Structure 1
Amino acid sequence: MSSQQKALIYPARFAPFKVETFPKPSIGPDEVLIKIISSGLNPIDWEIQKYGIFFLEFPAILGEDAAGYIDEIGKNVTSFIKGDRVIAQGLFNQYGGAYAEYLAVPAELVAKIPESMSFNKAASIPLAIGTAACANGIGLTPPWTPGGEGKYKGQGILVLGGSATVGQSVIQLAKLSGFDPIVVTASPHNEQFVKSFGATHVIDRHSDVVPELQRGFPKGFKYIYDAIGISSTQRIAWSVLASEGSLAVVNPLEDWLVTEIEKDKTKEVVYVYGIMYVHRDLGRGLFAALGEYLEAGKIKPTEIEVLPNGLAGVADGLKKLEAQLVSGKKLVVRPSETP
């Protein structure tokens, strides 16, 4: 068996990506090796390259969404067998990322997928569901914990960016948690799409959102999840966040928002990013429950677009994400199709 693989290498800070032959990762006793069939693209990867964020050891392999087969099993692992169809997150550490043919990952951060679900679709799930789950950072009890499912029945939540992949996952977890209403912002053409995940009210994101939310929900929202995280959505969220309310944001907080938080300490605002290797206890519980959620259809994948040329197609795909040319779907590559 070859000890080499094709991988998309990020050789140095700000450097362009390159497809190279690279050592295949080895596994420890509590880990599994996944033969990746499909890898999902995420905006964080172009942000890492463009802005030089995160402390990485170079050369690095990025990519946070992997779907494939279990190829090797550590001696302590009893929850999987070789050939199981699974999903996992690529990680910014010694394990490497999903822009490769193989991924080594702790077995407790892996979930099985149904036979009926394609690997391409499954690759849309890992980072989005992990980032959505980080809403526990604003005090929400995850639905898979004792008493969590249905706990928030009758309480409202606002999701900014409902058609984004993270937004879709937030909606689904909110539905499992019993939230009602589940109010989201989205483009009108995505209204039925986000309602299919559990949204109850959809506000046109191109409209004057704040007055519309204030008219419909004059008390504001105790819980808000900003799945876009840019300055304009942070402003919307802050404007309709109720006193004693909590806001989760997927990007670092804008300076003006930090200033506002200092003025009003009754409101809680957190920046969330869902790498489950970092949020290990949360990730352990999430991935233990995720297989059953997927089998039951309680968590569903998003629409996908498969890019050509395998790993060699990632760079162009990330440019599309940076230019905001992707809406309501996940870009996916298949490493085996790399020239």
Structure 2
Amino acid sequence: MRVIRQERLGGPEVLQLLEVPRPEPAPTEVLVRVTAAGVNPVDWKVRTAGGLLGPPPFSVGWDVAGVVEALGRGVTRFAPGDRVFGMPRFPREAAAYAEYVTSPSRQLARIPEGLSDVEAAALPLAGLTAWQALVETARVGPGTRVLVLGAAGGVGHLAVQVAKARGADVLGTARPEKHAFLASLGTDEAVDYTTGPLAGRVRDVDVVFDLVGPEAAEAALPTLHDDGVLVTAASGSGLGPLRDAAAGRVRVIGILVEPDRAGLESLAALVSDGRLRPHVAETFPLADAARAHERGETGRTQGKLVLTVG
């Protein structure tokens, strides 16, 4: 089978298309014939720095959609031919940039009717990040006032829809040329982050969801009322300074997304209800994974990038 693998750290040119043996599912795992694989910022961050995967060689990619090809011993949830999607093994290696992937069966869910495989591949990591941050961590519900930093991006555009589905009032930051896109997602107010500090323009927010970085998160702290919560995808050394800046007035919580079948099924239910739809900005063949990374690293993607396989 074909797989994208890298032998050293570096730029997108280190991603190589190789032929390797097809994996076999272990007990409680399924073998998935991959039809599409989502591309996320963590993919190129791992490509350049290794991160939790350590030194190369390794294969990047976690978002996967496809068809169950074979079952390992003990699997009862799926049958060959089922369409499935998920984010297996994160943050350990999943090697989703490939023609076949093995996954623990309970880290996958069925693709809902009406959602294409390409759209399904765009959903797991970004959608679960939004779900786990807003629903399970911040407890967003009817009347909650939510500010999403980076609302037009891969996680952000899904976070807007998840928050709206929960009954929240949603504000989102983006460049002016993306405001129409935010409006199409249901955003109540689009905020141009290029025209100066948010403080004074945005007030009395219950929840800030930061998808930009520590500097933007710190600038958004004054928008929160006392006892509000800032949930950030930043981790490690970025959390300490944020908590210092918050000075106990608001809570600062760092999140690292986890594989979650229940969360996937909740997202699938929102898709079936017409309240959630991933936006795919562009697709690339598997062999063009390096070009997809180059496109993503510009930081200007609206929605998600997806690799098509097969």
Q: Does 1:300 align with 2:277?
A: yes
**Partner SS state of residue 23, structure 1:** coil
- Kindly indicate whether the alpha-carbon contact (under 8 Å) linking 2:69 and 2:81 is maintained by their aligned counterparts in 1: yes
Q: Identical aligned pairs, as a percentage? A: 27
Q: Does 1:168 align with 2:157?
A: yes
Q: Does 1:320 align with 2:295?
A: yes
Correspondence 1:1-339 to 2 at 5 A: 5-14=1-10, 16-56=14-54, 58-92=56-90, 96-135=94-133, 139-141=137-139, 152-179=141-168, 181-211=169-199, 214-217=200-203, 220-229=204-213, 231=215, 233-252=216-235, 258-259=240-241, 261-262=243-244, 264-276=247-259, 283-307=260-284, 310-324=285-299, 326-336=300-310
**Partner SS state of residue 206, structure 1:** helix
CA distance in 2, matches of 1:321, 1:122: 19
Closer, same or farther: CA 164–81 of 1 in aligned 2, 3 Å: same
Give TM-score scaled by structure 1 length. Answer: 0.81
Give TM-score scaled by structure 2 length. Answer: 0.88
**Partner SS state of residue 193, structure 1:** helix
Deviation of 1:92 (Å): 4.6
CA distance in 1, matches of 2:230, 2:98: 35
CA distance in 2, matches of 1:14, 1:63: 16
CA distance in 2, matches of 1:25, 1:241: 49
- Kindly indicate whether the alpha-carbon contact (under 8 Å) linking 1:90 and 1:103 is maintained by their aligned counterparts in 2: no
**Partner SS state of residue 50, structure 1:** helix
Moved over 4 A (4+): 92-95
Closer, same or farther: CA 79–14 of 1 in aligned 2, 3 Å: same
Q: For residues 55-93 of structure 1, give each alpha carbon's deviation from its aligned partner in whole angstroms, at most 9, with x where no partner exists.
A: 437432211211111111234333322112221114357
Closer, same or farther: CA 47–291 of 1 in aligned 2, 3 Å: same
- Kindly indicate whether the alpha-carbon contact (under 8 Å) linking 1:71 and 1:82 is maintained by their aligned counterparts in 2: yes
Closer, same or farther: CA 138–258 of 1 in aligned 2, 3 Å: farther
Unaligned runs of 5+ in 2: none
- Kindly indicate whether the alpha-carbon contact (under 8 Å) linking 1:156 and 1:221 is maintained by their aligned counterparts in 2: yes
Aligned AA (1:240) = T
Deviation of 1:116 (Å): 2.7
Deviation of 1:247 (Å): 0.9
- Kindly indicate whether the alpha-carbon contact (under 8 Å) linking 1:160 and 1:226 is maintained by their aligned counterparts in 2: yes
Aligned AA (1:135) = A
Deviation of 1:292 (Å): 2.5
RMSD: 2.5
Unaligned runs of 5+ in 1: 142-150, 277-282
Closer, same or farther: CA 271–216 of 1 in aligned 2, 3 Å: closer
* Aligned counterpart, 1:144: none
After superposing the two structures, state which structure 1 stretch, 127-136 or 84-93, moved more.
84-93
Aligned AA (2:3) = A
